[in-house]
Structure 1
Amino acid sequence: MTRVSIPVLVTVMLLMFGGVAEAHKLKVFATATGAAIEGYAYFGTGGRARQSEVTVASPDGTVLGKTTTDDEGNFRYDATRRVDHVITVDGRDGHVASYTVAADELPQTLASGGDAAAAKPSAERTGAPIAAAPAASRTGEDADLKAFIDRSIARQIRPLREQIDAYQEKIRLHDVLGGLGYILGLGGLAFGLAQRRKRAGTGASDVTRGAQ
């Protein structure tokens, strides 16, 4: 084995392992439909992470709940607080991935920051006159309308986000495979040139010995 071929083979092996790791990379996608957070976990190859533990936590690390993906890699969690939800899926064998569902995607009717009192109308907490009730009612109706619109938009956007995410994964894998082919081609060229120089050197030595 020539000195040139050794680094080439090492580079090829690194790219091969990198390609395998990219293909088996765990990904998580989730979106909020009303107070329900729905999503799924999958690998770069397209396979789903089945029966994997799903941990839902707030940004400060407080665990809000746990669930498990089904046989299709899908999961669901019903939010009770209007905070960012960090979804972490443990696909075993060292495969862990996270995805954050922003608080803005959840209904305004949910308690903010875990404070149940925050979700109540201010009139109820402070004992304000009954005359303020119609305004509070209109606010609740506006919140319900916004939640309905958010759910409708989420249903329309989700397929597009899934397609974009899957396309990006496919592009990355193609780049790795393309780089691998390029390196193999250069390695073959370097090996051929080295062998040619070796044969030329051997022939020159034979001619010199014959002349002596």
Structure 2
Amino acid sequence: MKRLAALPILLLLAAPAQAHKLKVFASVEGGDIVGSAYFVGGDKAVGVPGRILGADGSLVASFATGPDGGFRQRAAARMDHTISVESEDGHAARFILPADQFPPSLPEGKAMAAPSGDAAALEAAIARQIRPLREQLDAYESRTRLHDVMGGIGTIFGLFGCWAWLQSRRSRS
């Protein structure tokens, strides 16, 4: 019976485990890397230090997020960039921007085919338009929804039911 009483306490302690998960999102606007860092649940990560690494792992830039959790850095070359942020309490997140999202006007960081001028302008315009949608989708995917909670509770009750059924069968024999 003591084990059963401890179960709700353990469940209450486990609930905030994802509450401070750090996420980072970035996209390319023109020749700039623009993004934001936030905690799951919607809180902005203010003043969090971050780094931008090049394709070879070398440090390209360092930054700190602003009051809105956002950052903006100029890209020096067209290559894969890895954006990483780490909060003071040890939470960290990474996001990779592939080289093909950068405009062809930037010098090549590695060998790749550059799109023509019209295609590059079109790609830049599309990137500007879909950036807010990509941010919303990323935030939506990391949010805990009611059906997630209800599914977890249902699993717990189902496991408890199986355990109770097995206990009743043992007491009969």
TM class, shorter-length: 0.7 to 0.9
Between structure 1 and structure 2, the one with the greater Rg is: 1
Distance between the aligned counterparts of 1:169 and 1:51, measured in 2? 21
Q: How far apart, in 2, do the equivalents of 1:21 and 1:161 lie?
A: 25
- Runs of 4+ residues over 6 Å off in structure 1: 187-193
Residues 29 and 41 of structure 1 are in contact (CA less than 8 Å); yes or no, is this contact kept in structure 2? yes
Relative distance call for 1:83 and 1:31 in structure 2 (3 A) is same
Q: CA deviation at 1:154?
A: 1.1
2-structure distance, mates of 1:22, 1:173? 13
Distance in 1 of aligned mates of 2:73 and 2:110? 16
Whether 1:22 and 2:18 are equivalent positions in the alignment is yes
Alignment counterpart, residue 150 of structure 2, candidates 178, 189, 198: 178
2:58 is aligned to 62
List per-residue Cα deviations over 1:116-165 (Å, max 9, x = no partner).
xxxxxxxxxxxxxxxxxxxxxxx99x43x333222211121112212211
1:43 corresponds, among 33, 39, 44, to 39
Determine helix, strand or coil for the equivalent of 1:42: strand
Give, in whole Å, the separation in 2 of the partners of 1:15 and 1:174.
17
Q: Distance in 1 between matches of 2:47 and 2:61?
A: 16
Of 154, 171, 175 in structure 1, the residue corresponding to residue 127 of structure 2 is 154
- Residues in 2 aligned to 1:76 and 1:109: alpha-carbon distance in whole angstroms: 18
Give the alignment's Cα RMSD to 1 decimal. 3.7
Distance 1:85 1:174 in 2: 35
Per-residue deviation, residues 75-118 of structure 1 (Å, max 9, x unmatched):
00100111011000112211100101111111112111279xxx
* Residue equivalent to 1:201: none
Corresponding position of 1:13? 10
Are residues 15 and 164 of structure 1, via their aligned partners in 2, closer, same or farther at CA, if it must alter by over 3 Å?
farther
Report how far residue 31 of structure 1 moved: 0.4
> Is 1:112 aligned to residue 108 of structure 2?
yes
2: CA distance, partners of 1:187 / 1:29: 37
Aligned length: 168
Indicate if the aligned counterparts of 1:16 and 1:180 stay in contact, CA closer than 8 A.
no
Q: Distance in 1 between matches of 2:137 and 2:61?
A: 29
The aligned residue for residue 169 of structure 2 is none
Larger strand percent: 2
- Residue 179 of structure 1 and its aligned partner are, at CA, apart by 4.0
Q: Distance in 1 between matches of 2:135 and 2:52?
A: 21
Scaled by the length of structure 1, what TM-score is found?
0.65
**Equivalent pair of 2:84/2:93 in contact (CA under 8 Å):** yes
| Contact kept? 2:46, 2:65, Cα under 8 Å | yes
Q: Which moved more, 1:179-188 or 1:29-38?
A: 179-188
Q: Tell me, what secondary structure is at the counterpart of 2:50?
A: strand
Deviation of 1:23 after TM superposition, in Å, equals 2.5
**1:163 maps to what in 2?**
136
Partner of 2:77: 81
